[in-house]
Amino acid sequence: MENKISLKESTLYWLKLGFISFGGPAAQISMMHDELVDKKKWVTDKNFFHALNFTMVLPGPEAQQLATYMGWLMHGRIGGLISGTLFILPSFFILILLTYFYINYSDNIWGEGVLYGIKAAVIAIIFSASIKIAKKVLKKYYYWLTAIIAFFSINVLGLNLPFIIISAGIFGLIFHYIKKDKNTKQLKNPVKKKLFKKSLITFLKTILIWASVFLIIVYSSENILISLSLFFSKAAMVTFGGAYALLPYVFQNIIESHGWLTSQQMIDGLALGESTPGPLIMIVTYVGFIVGWYNDILGLGSPLFGALLCASIATFFTFLPSFAFIFIGAPLIELSKKNKALEIPLNFITSAVVGLIANLGYMLAYNSLWTDNGGTENFDIHLFILIVLSLLAIIKAKVGVLPLLLTLGLTGMMMKLYF
């Protein structure tokens, strides 16, 4: 840390960031760097980027984990809990409100038109994200090959996402072992033992918290609540690459396996997630709300209560591991700043994620562009044009996410009214 800062002042900053953090992880990370390093000088540039590299290794939302890490650096675990929670809390309540309006008012021509236009923007955003990450990561032919294999593995072979990600990581470890860097530094044994003991205690506490909440849910005997808890717990542990890695996993399981959401509902959820502050992975709140609304949770006959309960459960089980990863790993990472042992495995995992993101864009685009009309498939040329124009606006004109969504929403509304 550069300057000593009070807990109250940092709390106010994290609350403000929670309301203004539009634009996805790249924009959010940029905002944090601008404020914490350049303007306020609360954190050094070296500490910031070292923490960022660590969060890139982890499954889950890197921007939220980075905020948690920064809070931990400044004020320990209480600081990490505050920063990580306030980074997502405004988005949680905003998404619940938007999802409620979506369920009740999206079936009129105005709402249908807005969602039609935003759908094009969302698909373009996903493709632009895969292009952006590909430029940064796929610098060697074997990384390109990994991305292509991942794309065909999930799309053609039907392999599940965790298997693909884990396989890429294992291959990366083998590759690293073959090209082992002899200069890689190791932690001294006494330091290792002390820190591993502390991390083990944190791990056991996390398991206790998870088990306590899960047992309460099991006691309710509500199958949907149990399924949501297990699904999002597993998703949080295996989705390397942040929200865009989680989305293919959700798409493959919630839509295709469980049948809880339709493809259209998923695309609409992406639109709502892109238009709110906070991490895009907050779409889990939307998913939980939708599942709870259309199922009679606990037999109370209240769609709103069921929706709020399922949204809370989905959010809790998604983000609990994110906090745990930081509190368990950050102390070790601070003492291993020159250790590059994870660099190559991370690159292989990220390369696989590029392929999975590209597949997500392909699946959403295919399901949106080819519509079934009385047994015959029609190609939606208007939507295709909107997607191409949106992609050019993002890549060439550098249009921000929020202006793009607003423009496409209005465009879609006018198209539905006049065509």
pLDDT tens-digit readout, 193-229: 677 788 889 999 999 999 999 999 999 888 899 999 9
**Torsion sign (Cα): 138, 139, 141, 142:** negative
- Cβ distance 149 to 355 under 8 Å? yes
Q: Determine the pLDDT at residue 135.
A: 79
Quick one: DSSP state of residue 276?
S
- Cβ distance 143 to 351 under 8 Å? yes
Cβ-proximal residues to 327 (8 Å cutoff; 6+ apart), any chain: 72, 77, 80, 202, 206
Establish how many alpha carbons lie within 13 A of residue 256's alpha carbon, considering only the half-sphere containing its beta carbon: 13
Write out the E strands in 255-322. none
Rounded CA separation 77/103 (Å): 38
**Torsion sign (Cα): 287, 288, 291, 292:** negative
Rounded CA separation 117/178 (Å): 49
Q: What is the pLDDT of residues 178-194, one digit of tens each?
A: 776 545 555 455 556 67
Q: Determine the pLDDT at residue 116.
A: 78
- Cβ distance 391 to 127 under 8 Å? yes
Amino acid at 234: K
Quick one: DSSP state of residue 275?
T
**Torsion sign (Cα): 92, 97, 103, 107:** negative
Helix, strand, or coil here: 370?
Answer: strand
Alpha helices in 335-418 (DSSP H): 343-369, 381-395, 401-418
**Torsion sign (Cα): 220, 223, 228, 234:** positive
Cβ-proximal residues to 199 (8 Å cutoff; 6+ apart), any chain: 328, 329, 331, 332
Q: Determine the pLDDT at residue 391.
A: 87
- Cβ distance 344 to 175 under 8 Å? yes
- Cβ distance 244 to 357 under 8 Å? yes
Q: Determine the pLDDT at residue 104.
A: 83
Query: Smallest Cα–Cα separation from 5: which of 64, 65, 71?
Result: 71
Helix, strand, or coil here: 367?
Answer: helix
Look up residue 415 and give its two tokens: 């198209």
Would the pTM of this model clear 0.75, i.e. be above it? no
| Residue showing tokens 């895969």 | 130
- What is the per-residue DSSP string for 255-267? IIII--S-HHHHH
When computed from its CA atoms, the radius of gyration of the chain, rounded to whole angstroms, is 22
Q: Determine the pLDDT at residue 79.
A: 94
For the chain (419 residues), the mean pLDDT of every run of 10, in chain order, is 76 89 70 82 82 77 90 92 94 92 75 76 79 78 90 82 80 79 52 74 93 94 90 82 68 76 81 79 90 84 89 94 91 66 73 80 80 68 86 83 80 78
